[in-house]
């Protein structure tokens, strides 16, 4: 059984951009049939000779905010159950939102390794804004730009150590 790296976070933080970067041309997507995994995409990735499965989570259920947030919460709970480790993506340009805080509180109860990944750190000026994310109490933060790929190598070096 392959190691599974789950990407979670609220909408628009860059989960799918990171997923696409990690899976690149290896798009062997395994489509799951169950309703609960409808919003999940599985792809194959590899780093320093460690193959793994990446899961991109959506949770985009139309309807009230309650349903919307419940869907995201459900994705996080599934990730905690199925993943070897979890990438909790946040957005340096928005800082911490209520939904980020809610996801963080679920992840703090997880026994699986959680990486706080601060995305959209496209330049050094944004690095200074990243330190607020230590307040989640989830340990080290990893600053990346999914767009340029910067920082992803340092992150993946740590991720593969959890396998």
Least distance from ligand GDP to the Cβ atom of residue 99, Å: 12
Residue of 117, 160, 159 lying closest to 138 (CA atoms): 117
In the set 46, 102, 147, 162, which binds ligand GDP (CB under 6 A)?
Answer: 147
CA 59 – CA 78 distance, rounded (Å): 11
Q: Does 151 engage in binding with ligand GDP (CB under 6 A)? A: no
Least distance from ligand GDP to the Cβ atom of residue 1, Å: 26
Which stretch, 41-49, 105-113, 119-127, 135-143, contacts ligand GDP (CB under 6 A)?
119-127
Question: Who's near 160: CB < 8 A, 6+ residues apart?
Answer: 47, 48, 50, 52
Residue whose C-beta lies closest to Mg ion = 16
- Using only C-alpha atoms, the chain has a radius of gyration, in whole angstroms, of 15
Q: Which does 122 bind (CB under 5 to 8 A by kind): Mg ion, ligand GDP, none?
A: ligand GDP
Q: Which is nearer to ligand GDP, 11 or 161 (CB)?
A: 11
Q: Which two tokens stand for residue 20?
A: 């696409």
Q: What angle do CA 115, 121, 124 make, to 5 degrees?
A: 125
Question: Who's near 35: CB < 8 A, 6+ residues apart?
Answer: none
| Binding-site residues from annotation for GTP | 9-16, 56-60, 119-122
Q: Does 117 engage in binding with ligand GDP (CB under 6 A)? A: no
In the set 5, 13, 107, 155, which binds ligand GDP (CB under 6 A)?
Answer: 13
């Amino acid at each position: 059984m392959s190691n599974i790296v789950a990407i979670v976070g609220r909408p628009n933080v860059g989960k799918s951009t990171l997923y696409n970067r990690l899976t690149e041309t290896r798009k062997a997507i395994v489509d799951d049939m169950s309703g609960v995994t409808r919003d999940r995409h599985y792809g194959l990735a590899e780093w320093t000779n460690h193959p793994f499965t990446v899961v991109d989570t959506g949770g985009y259920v139309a309807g009230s905010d309650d349903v919307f947030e419940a869907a995201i919460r459900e994705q996080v709970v599934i990730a905690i159950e199925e993943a070897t480790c979890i990438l909790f993506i946040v957005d340096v340009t928005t800082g911490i939102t209520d939904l980020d805080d809610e996801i963080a509180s679920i992840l703090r109860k997880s026994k699986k390794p959680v990486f706080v990944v601060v995305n959209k750190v496209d330049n050094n000026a944004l690095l200074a804004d990243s330190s607020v994310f230590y307040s989640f109490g989830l340990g080290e933060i990893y600053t990346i730009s999914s767009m340029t790929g910067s920082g992803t190598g340092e992150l993946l070096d740590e991720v593969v150590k959890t396998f």
